[in-house]
Amino acid sequence: MYRSFIYSIFFSLISLNMNSTSFTLDTYNIEINSSFLGKEIMLFGQKNANRDIIIIFEGNKQEANLDTKVKKGIFWVNTSKSLSDIPSFFGIFTTPKKSLNEIFLIPKITEKHNLINNFSEGLFQIRKALKAKGLYYEEQLEVSEGNLFYKKFEIPDNISEGDIKIYFYEIFDGEILSSNEKNLSIEKKGLTSNLENLLTEQSFFYVFILIVFSIAFSLISNLIFRKK
């Protein structure tokens, strides 16, 4: 109810200025804690008439392993290839609906986003793997009242910490007329963050605590069973 009220106010305000192009999110900060189960994001804005909109969400780059099957002789063998600069999250939202084939025709966009810069089987498999984890979207923006657009989508609970960059492109006749960038911050809080910091910054101390705890638990268990 609260969200619907906010959205209706926003749509009313942006409708007053029909000659501008703008967009926003209902939140630009997501906190991950031990009870985090994902977060629904609402993207909404307005566009000029006769203009296409492409909005790309791209997470921070990281290494990833691509598992594929390769035929050697009469056998299929599993192989794994380590890849770098793979985004932790990737979403493409367009109006009207655009396939990747259509986006490939705009080189200034594909050159900037390496996950969609060619037709290779490797990139296809990466997009497929991300989609299976809920980390890849390729969808159409919903349009309301002619020039207003919106879209709901889910940031899953397996999202990595870091900024998701948002790239906004206004397109006319295959050319970029204007562009804009924003950030969606993903930050770990509470016990989840403390444990990760302990693992990365004080790994020796963490392992030492585990060893001590394991020995203590073993001694206590032996004493209990001896008494019985």
Domain locations in the chain? Answer: 2-188, 190-228
The reported pTM is 0.74
pLDDT band at 72 (very low <50, low <70, confident <90, very high): confident
Q: Using one digit for the tens of pLDDT, what is the confidence trace for 160-187?
A: 999 999 999 999 998 999 999 999 999 9
- Reply yes or no on domain 2-188 having CATH 3.30.450.20: no
Q: What is the largest CA-CA distance in the chain?
A: 84
Sheet containing 52-58: order of strands: 29-32, 175-188, 162-172, 52-58, 90-95, 136-140
